Amino acid sequence: MASRALDAEIDRLYQLPLDEFTPARNALAKGAGAESPRIKALAKPPVAAWAVNQLYWRNVDVWNALIEAAENARRAHKAVLSGRAGDVRAASKVHDDAVEEALRTTLALVANAGHPASDATKHAIATTLRALPGDEPPGRLTHVLQPGGFEVLTGVSLARGAAAKPSKPAPARDTRSATRLPSPPKVDAKALTRAREAAAAAARALRDAEQAAHRAEFEMVRTTRDEDRAAKAVEDAREAVREATSELERAERAAKAASGLREAAAKRSDDAKDALSKAHSRAEAMAADLKKIE
């Protein structure tokens, strides 16, 4: 199978209803030749990742608006940290609105596909939408994404930021006729110290909040996975009940048919006994008539 055609088939896998993914993947792997191991390794996405994939495949305008807003927000953060102008608040607001719109659209797609989302799944979908764009190809997510910390968001590390190079000293000038420059304003050292301490405290609070958020997101993802496994176990149990019910119905039909055969055989036996009794009676009557004649 040509590479482009195979990629198209893989794309189709991630557009299918979730319960059709595994059999369709296995069927594709059988005819993929040398690419079969790669196809078999394709992981079935959890509900949240599958839902985000459907947004890409079924409403690309909302998807593109979300990705553009995310990239603009990251550029704004990076610009500020690099000392350039950047409207972080406005860019973040646009990104938040794009995430909300994408979440509404995705939940509608999921509901229409027969997968009403639990609270845990909704949270996992929102988390993944906020973390986009990810490393995987769009439309082929196989796991829930986690937004990185502030440094990951911007791509700039404060701890590793390069210090500005000192500028070269200006050439000596004859200052005898130069206009005297005004002295720089005095800096309130105490106010500066307080500002630095406040900034450091804010940075620590931000770091602590991010760590707490990451822990909460990890717990939520783990809960979502447990919920998916429990849902699968329930579905397997229901399937087993359906199969057992079918077996019981077949057995009952067979028993009923056997009962009918027994009743028919019993009736034939009774009819035969009646016929035999009548034959004996006729034979005895004929024997009596014969004696009278003799």
Q: How far apart are CA 286 and CA 279, in angstroms?
A: 11
Higher pLDDT, 129 or 172: 129
If you average pLDDT over residues 159-171, what whole number do you get? 37
Range of weakest confidence among 21-30, 53-62, 227-236 = 227-236
Phi-psi domain of 33 (left: phi exceeds 0; alpha: psi -120 through 50; beta: other) = left
Q: What is the pLDDT of residues 74-125, one digit of tens each?
A: 988 887 776 666 678 899 999 999 999 999 999 999 999 888 899 999 999 9
pLDDT at 172: 43
Reduce the DSSP state of residue 183 to 3 states and report it: coil
The model's pTM: 0.52
- Give the side-chain half-sphere CA count within 13 A for 104: 6
pLDDT at 17: 95
Q: What is the pLDDT of residues 214-261, one digit of tens each?
A: 566 556 656 666 666 767 766 776 777 687 777 778 878 877 887 778
Q: What is the DSSP letter of 114?
A: T
Is the pLDDT at 36 greater than 80, yes or no?
A: yes
Cα angle 42, 133, 223; round to 5: 65
Q: Could you tell me how many residues make up the chain?
A: 294
DSSP helix, strand, coil percent of the chain (3-state; round to 5): 75, 0, 25
pLDDT at 85: 61
Cβ proximity of 111 and 54 under 8 Å: no
Q: How far apart are CA 149 and CA 213, in angstroms?
A: 10
Query: DSSP letters along 4-67, please?
Result: HHHHHHHHHHTTS-GGGHHHHHHHHHHT-GGGHHHHHTPPPPPHHHHHHHHHHHH-HHHHHHHH
pLDDT at 177: 41
Cα torsion for 87, 70, 59, 112, to the nearest 10°?
-110
pLDDT at 186: 57
pLDDT at 5: 87
* Averaged pLDDT score across all residues of the chain: 78
